[in-house]
Structure 1
């Protein structure tokens, strides 16, 4: 295959970190991680589980640790790129090849692999249970409705409750309850028509 010098690497968004990213790759190759391409970037996996990724951005190139929240980070290198969005991912940014200390980088990667082996992951947060006082009243008055509602799988019950309780005013909640009662009795889930 003929290489095209103009072809940009997908993982180097701005194409000005080629040498630096190849240097990072050469360090990662000393570990037991296997390179794959996901989301248009090199992601390194252990036992098919994503451990780290690398990429180039406008002002820096970085290694991101997909479960970086578990790293001890004794050298205080890691940052959370999106505070409110990412619970577990952490980034180590560099602005030049000289900043990459191979020994430190390998230490962090090996710790990340170790954490993966131990299965350290953040479980997705459980949805809060929703209670609808108005629907409960309705079900007390109508045992058939209660029985029909209980036949639904928990996620479908949740969808009904969320639909009712996301209304701000009681009168809206009541009109929504009126709308869903025939569906519940007919054993039709709130979002079935979209499924």
Structure 2
């Protein structure tokens, strides 16, 4: 069963509530997102077992009623979800109060900005040994931005076995020497 249609009536109820605010409906990432001055404030969506309101800077909401959850603890910094499993759980007054607080927070600039990639990447020992053995490779690697260096490092470090890490280093050597970033073909 299509997840969006599964919750179609419930999502329409949430959308009707949000329509009573100053937010403007847009479509982003294939979903319904409501913005204030082109800044994401709240979205709605249907999933297999629940439908949800999500607040883009929900970490700043007081959440006195304890409705909000961090959908991806340890990864998601500011996004918070309010999950529903039935239209009977929809309380228009509470929802409007949360949305109005989210709008005030947006107007006051209370947002979590994404962290920039640190200026220096920590090079793993196996890669550092290969770089120390080959000055041309080392100089080519250091010409990459810290972001692209981190992509190479993560590619190596996500391997579990040392021999896989070494084979990945061998695989990326020509790319580094040719000044081709790991994910350049996708950009």
TM-score (norm 1): 0.66
Question: May I ask how many residue pairs the two structures share in their alignment?
Answer: 183
List aligned pairs for 1:31-180, cutoff 5 A. Answer: 31-39=21-29, 41-54=31-44, 62-80=52-70, 86-87=76-77, 88-93=79-84, 95-96=86-87, 100-117=90-107, 118-121=109-112, 123=114, 129-180=121-172
Deviations 1:42-88 (CA, angstroms, capped at 9, x unpaired):
43211112212345678765433233222111122234456577551
Against the structure 1 CA distance between its residues 153 and 72, is the aligned structure 2 distance closer, same or farther, given a 3 Å change threshold? same
Higher helix share: 2
Question: What's the Cα RMSD here?
Answer: 3.8
Which runs of 5 or more residues in structure 1 are unaligned? 1-9
Q: CA deviation at 1:120?
A: 1.0
TM-score (norm 2): 0.69
Query: Does residue 1:21 correspond to 2:21, yes or no?
Result: no
The structure whose Rg is larger is 1
What's the secondary structure of 2:6's corresponding residue? coil
What's the secondary structure of 2:111's corresponding residue? coil
Against the structure 1 CA distance between its residues 165 and 56, is the aligned structure 2 distance closer, same or farther, given a 3 Å change threshold? closer
Contact 1:52 1:64 in 2 (8 A): yes
Deviations 1:117-166 (CA, angstroms, capped at 9, x unpaired):
21413626858944222332333343333222212222332233334444
